[in-house]
A and B are shown apart, each in its own frame.
Chain A
Amino acid sequence: MSAAAPLPEPGYNFAYLDEGTKRMIRRAILKAIAIPGYQVPFASREMPMPYGWGTGGVQVTAAVLGRSDVLKVIDQGADDTTNAVSIRRFFGRTAGVATTTHTSEATLIQTRHRIPETPLSEGQILVYQVPIPEPLRFLEPRETETRQLHALAEYGLMHVKLYEDIARHGHIATTYAYPVEVAGRYVMDPSPTPKFDNPKMDGCPALQLFGAGREKRIYAVPPHTRVRSLDFEDHPFRIQSFDRPCALCGAEAVYLDEVVLDDRGGRMFVCSDTDHCEGRRAEGHTGEMAE
């Protein structure tokens, strides 16, 4: 589904933000790109939506967006979740840009918690909404300390934490927001995407931008950049796997949502990426519970 551009709301600047704010955010984005994985502080504005609901991603999108862009917004992989609908509508109203649900048609995709299954291509931009940008935050709550650790590339704490998991559980027990090392230097939080999506970041041809509004940080991964999930030689990084295909489109090796069908233990597993699932079904693929 694609929607043509309606006229932007009168009384607002294009994409809501004033030009001074856009310039400030744009400068932060340029520095973020030049220092992959480093969190650039920026003067995040108070947006007309709550902190924690995508204000960072929205500000990055607003600063980057142009008239000819085609915007896709997803939350949990889906285009039709309420917050995705709300953010897409915000840009429809304030920027009047064309929107789409098709990953391949979008020039800019704002996301919360997922990377689309359809591989991204050269020239696309993926904007992540980030709640806690600091990968070391839960090991060291102080900004003054974590800043030092990043400056010294001192990431021993993180390795100790991951290794403690191994000692206790036999494997690393971090399933989402799994830390990555970018271009051999900064350790970065990939936002709370499932670790299933981490490999998609590595060498991705699209530009990846991360916006954390409440925490006032912007960071970036340029295209074709090495993104390595932290691991150990004897415990290599592994992604989740599902022991069944999507019940609707039959896709394998995709991330699935578990849907509760009744209160007697009935379950089905379906693609979390709704566009990918619909595309496959349109091509005639079916799963066991397709009608």
Chain B
Amino acid sequence: MALRAGFRDPVHAAQAVFRAAMDALSRPACIQALAPALTPPEPLTAELAGLALALCDADTPIWLDAPLAAVPEVAAYLRFHTGAPLVAAAGEAAFALIADPAACPDFVAFAQGTPDYPDGSATLILAVDHLTDRRGLAFSGPGIRDLAYLEAAPLPADWSARLAANHALFPRGLDILLVAPGRIAGLPRSARLREAAEA
């Protein structure tokens, strides 16, 4: 089977994806456009693949969730285009790609960083079906002027509790990118979950 293509214009495509991720993390819970022109093997989405190709290489072990790990073409695609080692242990990953967000493993499975090096924590990238910043959970913190709202689905039932616990670890903690077709939003560890509210 022929390998699916990577970025047609790697330099500028990677820059565009990075800028979307940077905007997403510097403005938590605020949706940015992200539309990489990729057709990776399913269930890897274009957004998941775009972020992996833009940010990962031999220095960044990637962990794949069960649906992604079950498809050899996904691993072959990522290995070829990024050169990143794919790891079975979630705790060794710099990036985790998650196609089935409702089954996202508990956050403690991933590297949380240390007090000396909080930057050693993992970045989780979850492909959700539904993503809007018009309503949903309310967040405050750096990058947010007053309050920001984000609703995504599907997600684990205890999602709010996980986010609250993650923020409580600050400056340690995971950084989360949520992607849906054409869109990306970030929930860095600095984002503080307020009581759920409707905007």
Q: Please give me the residue from chain A that is nearest to B170 by CB atom.
A: A185
Task: Choose among B11, B25, B117, B121 the residue that contacts A19 (Cβ–Cβ < 8 A).
Answer: B11
Q: Chain A, 13-51, contact with B by CB distance < 8 Å: what is the 0/1 string?
A: 110000110111011111111111010110000000000
B51 to chain A, nearest CB (A): 10
A33 engages B119 (CB within 8 Å): no
Identify the B interface with A (CB < 8 A).
Answer: 10-12, 14-16, 18-19, 21-22, 25-27, 54-57, 59-60, 94, 114-119, 121, 123, 141-145, 170-171, 175, 188-190
Q: How far is the CA of A78 from the CA of B94 in the complex (A)?
A: 41
Q: Chain A, 197-229, contact with B by CB distance < 8 Å: what is the 0/1 string?
A: 000000000010000000000001111111000
Q: Please give me the residue from chain B that is nearest to A222 by CB atom.
A: B143
A222 engages B142 (CB within 8 Å): yes
B10 engages A19 (CB within 8 Å): yes
B15 contact set on A, CB distance < 8 A = 14, 22, 65-67
A161 at the interface (CB under 8 A from B): no
Question: Contacts A28-B119, A30-B21, A222-B27 given: A23-B54 contact, CB under 8 Å?
Answer: yes
Apart from A33-B22, A66-B19, A207-B22: 15 A-B pairs, beta carbons within 8 A? A14-B12, A22-B14, A23-B54, A26-B18, A30-B55, A31-B121, A34-B175, A35-B119, A40-B119, A65-B15, A67-B15, A151-B114, A152-B115, A185-B170, A222-B142
A64 contact set on B, CB distance < 8 A = 18-19, 22
A162 at the interface (CB under 8 A from B): no
A147 at the interface (CB under 8 A from B): yes
18 A-B contacts (beta carbon < 8 Å)? A14-B11, A19-B10, A19-B11, A22-B14, A24-B59, A26-B54, A27-B60, A29-B22, A38-B119, A41-B117, A66-B16, A147-B116, A151-B115, A185-B170, A207-B26, A223-B143, A225-B142, A226-B142
Q: Please give me the residue from chain B that is nearest to A148 by CB atom.
A: B116
B12 contact set on A, CB distance < 8 A = 14, 66-67
A34 engages B11 (CB within 8 Å): no
A221 contact set on B, CB distance < 8 A = 142
Q: How far is the CA of A221 from the CA of B56 in the complex (A)?
A: 24
A36 contact set on B, CB distance < 8 A = 142, 190
A255 contact set on B, CB distance < 8 A = none
Q: How far is the CA of A36 from the CA of B192 in the complex (A)?
A: 13
A35 engages B14 (CB within 8 Å): no
A91 at the interface (CB under 8 A from B): no
A186 at the interface (CB under 8 A from B): yes
Question: Contacts A23-B55, A66-B12, A225-B142 given: A30-B116 contact, CB under 8 Å?
Answer: no
B94 contact set on A, CB distance < 8 A = 27
Q: How far is the CA of A66 from the CA of B18 in the complex (A)?
A: 10
Task: Choose among A34, A41, A182, A226 the residue that contacts B188 (Cβ–Cβ < 8 A).
Answer: A34
For A, the interface residue count at a CB cutoff of 8 angstroms equals 42
B23 to chain A, nearest CB (A): 8
Q: Please give me the residue from chain B that is nearest to A40 by CB atom.
A: B119
Q: Please give me the residue from chain A that is nearest to B188 by CB atom.
A: A34
A30 engages B175 (CB within 8 Å): yes
Q: Please give me the residue from chain B that is nearest to A227 by CB atom.
A: B142
B119 engages A183 (CB within 8 Å): no
A65 contact set on B, CB distance < 8 A = 15
A34 engages B22 (CB within 8 Å): no
Q: How far is the CA of A28 from the CA of B117 in the complex (A)?
A: 12
Question: Contacts A24-B59, A31-B119 given: A183-B190 contact, CB under 8 Å?
Answer: yes
Task: Choose among B56, B116, B188 the residue that contacts A151 (Cβ–Cβ < 8 A).
Answer: B116
B115 engages A33 (CB within 8 Å): no
B22 engages A30 (CB within 8 Å): yes
B189 contact set on A, CB distance < 8 A = 34-35
B117 contact set on A, CB distance < 8 A = 41
A63 contact set on B, CB distance < 8 A = 18
Task: Choose among A40, A66, A183 the residue that contacts B142 (Cβ–Cβ < 8 A).
Answer: A183
Q: How far is the CA of A91 from the CA of B21 in the complex (A)?
A: 23
Task: Choose among A13, A31, A152 the residue that contacts B175 (Cβ–Cβ < 8 A).
Answer: A31
Q: How far is the CA of A205 from the CA of B137 in the complex (A)?
A: 23
Q: How far is the CA of A220 from the CA of B26 in the complex (A)?
A: 9
A30 contact set on B, CB distance < 8 A = 21-22, 25, 55, 123, 175
A147 contact set on B, CB distance < 8 A = 116
A28 contact set on B, CB distance < 8 A = 119
Q: How far is the CA of A20 from the CA of B54 in the complex (A)?
A: 10
B11 engages A13 (CB within 8 Å): yes
Q: How far is the CA of A129 from the CA of B141 in the complex (A)?
A: 26
A148 contact set on B, CB distance < 8 A = 116
